[in-house]
Amino acid sequence: MTFNFSNFWTRLNNWEFWPWQVIYFPVFLYGIWMAIRSRSPFFFSTVNPGIEGGGMMIESKYSILKQFNPELIPKTLYMTSPGNFEELVEKMQKLDLRFPVIAKPDFGERGFMVRKMDEPEMLQNYYQQAKVNFLVQEYIDFPLEAGVFYHRIPGQSSGKITSVVVKDFLKVIGNGRETIGELLLESRRNRLY
């Protein structure tokens, strides 16, 4: 693969394509400074008091979901590992949770171990291999997924939405001539991934 200055320049000017280590290094240094200044290594945990550790990392997805109205979240089962697969099947039947489902670790980051399960055998394999507690959730097949960043200052009655991120998968449309790799390279955004 040859060096492409256009890709390099685009990457350099769009921090979303930078390695996470580069992005978080200055945040890490600033965090050390704030910990010294506030005399507490966990100063950040007061930002999200409803989430263990302030949502910085290693928070339980299930404990966060339990804070919402059940009508606003997908049907969700919390499963411990190791466990009994037959018990999982019984709980799914009680909840009327049908395939396909999504399985994901209760503690996880950036899509790690998140899988769509189309049939019981897939879920059973996942369950046998998972060494962590995990969630089984109703698969929601909406055409759009978005992340909404909302914040509220303590003591205020309402907050603000400060950003919305639409999540989209890479995709190409075949033309019968070019390979998938060639089609991916035609899109600037796809090329950077």
Distance separating alpha carbons of residues 40 and 26, to the nearest angstrom: 19
Please name the amino acid found at residue 48. N
Span 60-83, average pLDDT: 88
> Which pair of structure tokens corresponds to residue 75?
């049907």
* Model confidence at 53: pLDDT above 80: no
pTM over 0.85: no
Q: Between 127 and 193, where is the model more confident?
A: 127
Sorted by sequence, the CB contacts under 8 Å of residue 175 that are 6+ apart come out as: 183
Give the pLDDT confidence of 83-116 residue by residue, as tens digits: 788 888 899 999 999 999 999 998 877 678 889 9
Q: Percent of the chain, pLDDT > 70?
A: 93
> How big is the CA angle at 115 (ends 109 and 121), to the nearest 5 degrees?
145
